[in-house]
Each structure stands twice: as structure tokens, then as C-alpha cells.
Amino acid sequence: MRRYELPTDDPSYEPFRIERMKQRKPRFAKYELDRMSARELRSLACSRLKIRGADSVVEKRELIRTIVESGKIEVISAPEPVERQNVAELRAMGVGKLRRAMEEAGVFFDPIDVVEKEDMVQIFVKSGRVVFREEEAETETDIAVDYGHGSKRTSLSEEGEDEATSKVQHSRSKSDCSDAPTDAVEVGDDGDDSVGNVGQNACCSETETMDVGAASHAPGNASDGSELESSQSSSAAEPAFASRTVSELRALGREFRIDLSTCIEKKEMVDKLAARVSTRR
């Protein structure tokens, strides 16, 4: 078994590494071959492995057998992926239950990469360690992505295109209050780790806007932050923070120097910010 060697900047080492890598056999688990389409298997057999006669094989089962028996790949033993009814079953789980299901399937993630539960679902799905008995009716699934640093949330297709497919939404501007309600993607605030949902923002009053609007839209303004800290207690601040988007909460966290990187649920961010406001009064 030849291990994969990463490329280096050493000119004396690279020629030998490249030569060794030419002799290295690609490694596949049996379930990975089973999950490939006939087109992907034919591309693997003909273009990458250059197996003679593979282009004339029609059936998927025969293509897999041809690839395995060619001796040009190494079939590794790996546990079968877990089986679920559909992706909606994952989305219906609480955060704790979903995390345990991922760990049992051998899928782990860095909390810094996860803003809400949908991020965990997508990591699980793309890992290849879960298969669904039912295919999704939709061809595309909108995924909420947070680019941080005060940016708003946009929608990307499930295929991971780099181009945003929806315009940036400003949920707390005065025009939003006077016009029709705007949809905003937020993580549920209830205690049972409920799924992130798309809720309609009700028209806001001037009093509600002044609670934390200045601090969230102008995080660099220290006087506005001080006014908020001195006028709100922990219990009174929670509803005001809860009305903010995840991006705005992150901006407040940076202003108050609160580490929110370990927070998965929006409620955790709200609790941390409210606690800090209470202690600094």
C-alpha cells in the first residue's frame, strides 16, 4: 500500500514523489463505487484508469466489476453509510441529536465553520456518509451562508456555486418597516434546538428600532454601545438582541469583544450578549 504524498517545494524530492505517485493505486470503498453514476464509472475506467474495453460496457454493475477486477484500484474496507428516509429527517432533528448522528457516522466538523443547523446538515450530506431512501423532490436547496464581518446573509444553490442567487436583504431599514415584510433566514430561538426557519419580520416601531439599531448598524460607534449597555438589563436586552440577524449579532460581538465563534444556535449568541450587557452596567 503506497500512501499519498503531498506536493513540496523541494526540487530534489519532487521528481521521485511524482514517480511514486504514478504507481499509487486510487483507493475506493465498495459503497463509493455503488453510489457513482454509470457516466462517472465510465469516466473513471476509461479516462483515469485507462482500462481496455471499458468503453463497451453498458451496465453499471458490469462497470463496477470491470474496475475492481482490473487491479488498478484498491478496494478498502469501510463501514456502510448510515441510511435515512430523506434530508428532511436530518433537518427535523435537534442540534444535539444531529451532532450525535454525525459522530456515529464518522463525520466531524469545526464549530467555527458552523453558524446554524443547516450548515451541519450540508456537511453531513456532502460527506457521503449518509444515504437517503427517498430522493428530494426539489432540484435545488437554498443554503444560508454567512460571510461574516457585518455582511448580510445570501442564498447559494446546493451545488456550491460561488455566485449569490439572491440580493442582500437589510432587515431593519426604515423602508422595510413601511413596506411589505421581508423574509430573513434565522436559527430558531426555542430551547429544544429547533430547525432554522424563514420567518416574516413584522413592521417595527421607532422605539423598537432604537433599542439596538444604532449599535448593530454602526458597530464602530462606542457612544451608542455605551448607551445600550447602560440602559438595558439582561432580561430587557434579550428581546432586542433576538430581533437581530446572525450577522448583526456577530457585529455586536466584535464591538463588545465577545467571542461568539463557539455558538451554533442564535439563542446562544443572544444569551452571551445579554449577559455581557448586564454585567457591564
Backbone dihedral angles phi then psi of residue 132, each to the nearest 5 degrees: -115, 135
Q: Where are the alpha helices (DSSP H) in 95-245?
A: 95-104, 117-126, 174-178, 206-217, 222-231, 234-242
Residue 281 has what pLDDT?
Answer: 59
Q: Is 98's pLDDT higher than 70?
A: yes
**Residue 27, beta-bridge partner list:** 74
- Taking residue 222's Cβ as centre, other Cβ atoms within 10 Å add up to 11
Q: pLDDT tens-digit profile of 33-59?
A: 988 899 999 999 999 899 998 989 989
100: alpha, beta or left, given left = phi > 0 and alpha = psi -120 to 50? alpha
Lowest mean pLDDT among 21-35, 43-57, 145-159, 261-275: 145-159
Q: Is 264's pLDDT higher than 90?
A: no
Please list, residue by residue across 147-181, b when 16 or more beta carbons sit within 10 angstroms of its beta carbon and e when fewer do. eeeeebbbbbebeeeeeeeeeebebbeeebbeeee
Percent of the chain with pLDDT over 90: 20
Residue 127 has what pLDDT?
Answer: 83
Residue 140 has what pLDDT?
Answer: 42
Q: What CA–CA distance (Å, rounded) separates 241 from 252?
A: 9
Q: What CA–CA distance (Å, rounded) separates 13 from 18?
A: 9
Q: How far is Cα of residue 59 from the mean position of the Cα atoms in its chain?
A: 36
Band of residue 263 on the pLDDT scale cut at 50, 70, 90: confident
Higher pLDDT, 246 or 148: 246
Lowest mean pLDDT among 48-52, 161-165, 252-256: 161-165
Residue 161 has what pLDDT?
Answer: 40
Residue 154 has what pLDDT?
Answer: 38
- Taking residue 100's Cβ as centre, other Cβ atoms within 10 Å add up to 12
Residue 42 has what pLDDT?
Answer: 92
